[in-house]
Amino acid sequence: MNTTTPSKLEKILAEGHFAVTSECGPPRGANGEVVEEKANLIKDHVDAINVTDNQTSVVRLCSLAACIRIKQMGLEPVLQMVTRDRNRIGIQSDILGAASFGIHNILCLTGDHQHFGDHPQAINVFDLDSTQLIQTVKLMRDKGELLGGFEMKELPKMFIGAAANPFADPFEIRVARLAKKVAAGCQFIQTQCIYNMEKFKTWMQQIRDQGLHEKVAILAGLTPMKNVGMAKYMKNRVPGIDVPDDIIERLAAVPKEKQADEGIKICVEQIEELKEEEGIRGFHIMAIEWEEKVPEIVEKAGLYPRPEIKVSEN
């Protein structure tokens, strides 16, 4: 199967393996070594590592710098980029910067509104939205052009991804939106973390009805619950997350010191179930501030060792 970029993630998917990705949340300070520590915890168990971009509008060490560090460790980063904080000039500039360090994966996001974070007084940019960011990367990669028309000699070779939220209502808009992102050039999707399996499978069915599962590689997003408190927090305070009551009950039924293990168990069960779901091409495990558990989850889900892939930089 052909690939469009030197991306290792793209190659793994092209060869028909389940891809496994995870993420690093960068620190709220100037210490880049935190990124290295987190990456080292998961490096043998994932194919690529996402770095979040000022997630929930909270200022953190920038995704680009962290991705460069990860690349220099010999690992495969996925640059998450939101359109909330930069205009098209800054965005294209950062894409070129990332490409210049051999970063080949980008996740195109609009970004949480700044009202969620610690700088609600800030202006937001949103010169582009996530779909237009996809278009921009595709234009730069395939035509070698910037939005303003300038033709570049050295093109960024980026495997283009986006996020999808199967849980926001109404469904029909969600599927239409994914179709739009695919039409714009999106090649892989990482979904919002899944707890409501029934709803997710309904979404997948609608995706398949439109034939979208053949045009884009869908990686199911999963976040293991540490305890029942986290489950309740995610249900009530985080936008776009659907946590069914039976997950909360299942965690609450177990003594506090056992809840973490139960959360891992739920996550592994979900992976096993989703392996059977047509159109699922991989898993994006977001173990926020719990990166050390990723290896355990990957191993218990039968996804270890990761396939060895050789990619050239051409």
CB-nearer residue toward another protein: 57 or 105 = 57
Which member of 154, 169, 278, 308 binds another protein (CB under 8 A)?
169
Report in angstroms the alpha-carbon separations of 90 from 61, 99, 163, 165, 268. 17, 14, 21, 26, 40
Q: 210: number of CA atoms within 13 Å, CB side?
A: 19
Which member of 136, 223, 227, 270 binds another protein (CB under 8 A)?
136
Residue 111 near another protein by CB under 8 A = yes
238 burial (CB, 10 Å; 0-12 / 13-18 / 19+) is middle
CB-nearer residue toward another protein: 20 or 134 = 134
Residue 164 Cβ, how far from another protein at the closest point, in Å? 7
277 burial (CB, 10 Å; 0-12 / 13-18 / 19+) is middle
User: Cα 77 vs. chain centroid, distance in angstroms?
Assistant: 11
Residue 145 near another protein by CB under 8 A = no
Which pair of tokens denotes residue 157? 């070779």
CA gap 47, 137 in Å, rounded: 22
Within positions 219 to 258, which residues make up the interface with another protein, using CB under 8 A? 239-240
Residue 256 Cβ, how far from another protein at the closest point, in Å? 30
Torsion of CA 290, 291, 295, 301, to 10 degrees: 60
Which member of 17, 88, 232, 275 binds another protein (CB under 8 A)?
88
Residue 110 near another protein by CB under 8 A = yes
Q: In this chain, which stretch among 72-80, 95-103, 166-174, 306-314 interacts with another protein, using CB under 8 A?
A: 166-174
Q: Which residues bind another protein (CB under 8 A)?
A: 84, 88, 110-113, 115-116, 124, 126-132, 135-136, 147, 163-165, 168-170, 173, 176-177, 179-181, 183-184, 192, 239-240
